[in-house]
Amino acid sequence: MHNIGNYTSQFFANIYLNELDQYVKRVLKIKYYVRYMDDFVLLLKTKQECINIKKKIEIFLYKNLRLILNSKSKYYPYKMGVNFCGYRIFTTHRLLRTSNKKKIKKNIKNWNKKYKANKLIFKNAIQSLNSWLGHSSHCNSYKLQQKMLNKCDFLFTSSTLTQIEKNLVIDIEKQGKLF
Q: Over the stretch 86-95, which tens digit does the pLDDT of each residue have?
A: 899 998 999 9
Which residues have CB under 8 Å from 152's CB, separation 6+? 108, 111, 112, 129
Torsion from C-alpha of 123, 141, 86, 152, nearest 10 degrees: 30
For the chain, the average pLDDT equals: 88
CA distance 9 to 15: 10
Task: Find all residues with CB under 8 Å of 45, minimum gap 6, and list them.
Answer: none
Residues 101 and 171 in one domain: yes
Are residue 48 and residue 120 in the same domain, yes or no? Answer: no
| Domains: count for the chain | 2
Q: Are residues 61 and 106 in the same domain?
A: no
CA 49 to the chain's CA centroid: 29
User: Are residues 51 and 117 located together in one domain of the fold?
Assistant: no
In a domain? residue 125: yes
pLDDT tier, 157 (very low <50, low <70, confident <90, very high otherwise): low
Task: Mark whether 32 and 102 lie in a shared domain.
Answer: no
User: Residue 2: its pLDDT value, please?
Assistant: 41
Residue 82 lies in a domain: no
Domain range for 28: 7-75
pLDDT of residue 6: 65
Domain stops at, among 20, 45, 75: 75
Q: Does 105 share its domain with 66?
A: no
* Residue 140 is assigned to a structural domain of this protein: yes
Is residue 141 one of the residues assigned to a domain? Answer: yes
- What are residue 96's DSSP bridge partners? 87
Decide: 68 and 28 in contact? Cβ < 8 Å. no
| 132 domain-assigned | yes
Is the domain of 107 the same as that of 173?
yes
Same domain, yes or no, for 115 and 54? no
**Better pLDDT: 145 or 39:** 145
Q: Does the reported pTM lie above 0.85?
A: no
- Judge whether 64 lies within some domain: yes
Does residue 120 lie in a domain region? yes
Burial of 96 per CB tally in 10 Å (0-12, 13-18, 19+) = buried
Whether pLDDT at 10 is above 50 = yes
Tell me the H-state helices in the chain.
7-16, 18-22, 47-60, 98-116, 122-136, 142-151, 158-178
Is residue 11 located within the same domain as residue 63? yes
Q: Is the pLDDT reported for residue 179 higher than 60?
A: no
In a shared domain, residues 69 and 111: no
Residue 77: pLDDT over 90? no
- Residues above pLDDT 90, as percent of the chain: 62
